């Protein structure tokens, strides 16, 4: 009987689900996030520089900022004219450009990383992000 009473007392007085590892407040729902399947990098302008590239997407809180990144190696081998990624345009509805590391020029035998920060939609979204990069080459 004493063991049963002790067990009931421990059960009633113990914190049930609000332990120190569980954050306070409401739990996030599926509607709290934007799900990007991938990032599609499209190029316009000078031909012969880069072909379309698909990179990873991610899961971002609604209205948050997503950092997209892509590695751009020089496409012409050891010689040839440099290619310059001049500017970026966000080509997906609901997304807005925050900033980027453009313009960047890539010469023969080199490569560079491009980073683009965009604000994701303020509502639930699942799909791709399309970025249009304007390219020039002398």
Position 7 scores a pLDDT of: 52
Question: Please, what are the domains in the chain?
Answer: 33-136 (2.60.40)
How many separate helices (H) and strands (E) can be counted in the chain?
Answer: 1, 8
Residue 133 burial (CB < 10 Å; 0-12/13-18/19+)? Answer: buried
CA distance 16 to 27: 16
Q: 45-60, pLDDT tens digit by residue?
A: 998 899 999 999 999 9
How much is the pTM?
0.76
- Cα separations in angstroms, 53 against 48, 64, 120, 121, 130: 14, 24, 20, 23, 10
Q: 69-102, pLDDT tens digit by residue?
A: 999 999 888 888 999 999 999 999 999 999 999 9
């Amino acid at each position: 009987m004493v063991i049963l009473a002790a067990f009931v007392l421990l059960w009633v007085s113990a914190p049930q689900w609000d332990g120190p590892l569980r954050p306070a407040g409401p739990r996030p729902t599926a509607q709290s996030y934007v799900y990007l399947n991938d990032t599609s990098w499209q190029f316009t302008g000078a031909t012969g520089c880069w072909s379309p590239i698909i990179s990873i997407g991610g899961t971002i809180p609604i209205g948050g900022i997503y950092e997209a990144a892509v590695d751009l190696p020089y496409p012409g081998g050891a010689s040839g004219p440099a290619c310059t990624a001049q500017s970026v345009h966000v080509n997906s509805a609901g997304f807005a450009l925050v900033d980027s590391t453009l313009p960047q020029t890539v010469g023969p035998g080199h490569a560079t990383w491009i980073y683009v920060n965009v604000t994701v939609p303020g509502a639930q979204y699942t799909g791709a992000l399309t970025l249009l990069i304007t390219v020039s080459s002398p």
